[in-house]
């Protein structure tokens, strides 16, 4: 199989690239920057705004896995350009190259587009995908974590000192990055015109405090102090971080909107069929692997 992958240099995309090569596929991958040569990979220089690059990416592909997109920005107007227009550009290139199979990586936040500009952009992109004549599957991952992830890193950093500040009470699903990668590769070779919500298999997801304690345990803490912070405090923190960290701030006003929603649990009726895929890494195992990688790489 020849796969075209956008976002292959990012956190999720790099795991998908590794999984694709391990499965024996050849890969054509879009990149903004020069990359080291790698067996089985053809790098295409360009962006989601570059029509010729996207057409070269799709040329000869059996399927496209569209991962690239914007997850965080101080300027919410950029979500529309990256996530909606970018997806439209990928689909246009697929049609010109006569590629039918599209696996589109969305987000659980698309379930509640009114809560954030990011979620709204993913929901709008999903609508474009579903309205197309392509053989599509939409995958809405919950919180994705694992080695090389710098979003959940902050929770591990605070857990190291015995404290994990949390949003208001609620529950969330999670998925280890290699499990998500395996699903995307499996879907590339199988028609499945559905919106899927994969997770680690934990019924009811993880209550925020349960997850905080599990992260603490992965770092050898018997327990951690895990206070729930109200939306007002998170909003104030987002404003302060914008002044201090500028564009590098992980906590933004837009993220506060969906962080405070109480239910980001993957729905049972939207899980992938077990015959196709099943999560292999539990939360406890995944947290331990992630913590070990952070320590080994000097991130903690």
Residues 128, 232: Cα–Cα separation, whole Å: 35
Q: How far is CA 144 from CA 12, 151, 266, 293, in A?
A: 8, 9, 12, 15
Catalytic residue among 118, 176, 258, 294: 118
Among the listed residues 66, 52, 198, the one whose alpha carbon sits nearest the alpha carbon of residue 134: 66
**Strand-pair category, 174-176 with 171-172:** unpaired
Helices (H) and strands (E) in the chain, counts: 11, 12
**Does the CA dihedral 130-133-137-139 come out positive or negative?**
negative
Residues 83, 81: Cα–Cα separation, whole Å: 6
Residues 145, 1: Cα–Cα separation, whole Å: 27
Would you call 118 a catalytic residue per the annotation?
Answer: yes
Structure tokens at 53: 């690059």
> Is 1 within 8 Å of 25 (Cβ atoms)?
yes
Strand partners of residue 101: 63, 135
Q: How far is CA 171 from CA 103, 222, 231, in A?
A: 27, 21, 16
Among the listed residues 86, 262, 247, 240, the one whose alpha carbon sits nearest the alpha carbon of residue 166: 262
Q: Catalytic site residues?
A: 118
């Amino acid at each position: 199989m020849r796969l075209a992958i956008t976002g292959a240099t990012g956190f999720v995309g790099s795991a998908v690239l590794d999984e694709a090569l391990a499965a024996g596929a050849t890969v054509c991958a879009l990149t903004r920057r020069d990359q080291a040569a790698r067996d089985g990979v053809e790098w295409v220089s360009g962006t989601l705004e570059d029509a010729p690059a996207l057409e070269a990416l799709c040329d000869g592909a059996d399927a496209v896995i569209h991962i690239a997109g914007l997850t965080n920005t101080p300027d919410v107007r950029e979500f529309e350009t990256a996530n909606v227009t970018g997806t439209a550009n990928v689909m246009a290139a697929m049609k010109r190259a006569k590629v039918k199979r599209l696996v589109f990586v969305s987000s659980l936040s698309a379930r509640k587009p009114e809560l954030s500009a990011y979620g709204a952009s993913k929901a709008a992109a999903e609508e474009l995908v579903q309205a197309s004549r392509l053989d599509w599957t939409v995958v809405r991952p919950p919180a994705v974590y694992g080695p090389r992830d710098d979003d959940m890193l902050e929770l591990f950093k605070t857990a190291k000192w015995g404290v994990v500040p949390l949003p208001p009470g609620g529950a969330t699903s999670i998925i280890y990055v290699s499990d998500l990668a395996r699903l995307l590769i499996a879907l590339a070779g199988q028609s499945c015109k559905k919106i899927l919500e994969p997770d680690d298999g934990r019924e009811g997801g993880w209550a925020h405090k349960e997850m905080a304690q599990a992260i603490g345990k992965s770092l050898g803490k018997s327990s951690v102090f895990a206070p729930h912070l109200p939306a007002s405090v998170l909003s104030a923190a987002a404003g302060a971080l914008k002044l201090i960290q500028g564009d590098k701030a992980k906590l933004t006003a837009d993220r506060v909107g969906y962080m405070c929603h109480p239910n980001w649990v993957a729905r049972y009726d939207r899980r992938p069929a077990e015959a196709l895929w099943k999560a292999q890494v539990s939360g406890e195992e995944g947290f331990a692997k992630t913590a070990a990688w952070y320590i080994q790489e000097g991130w903690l």
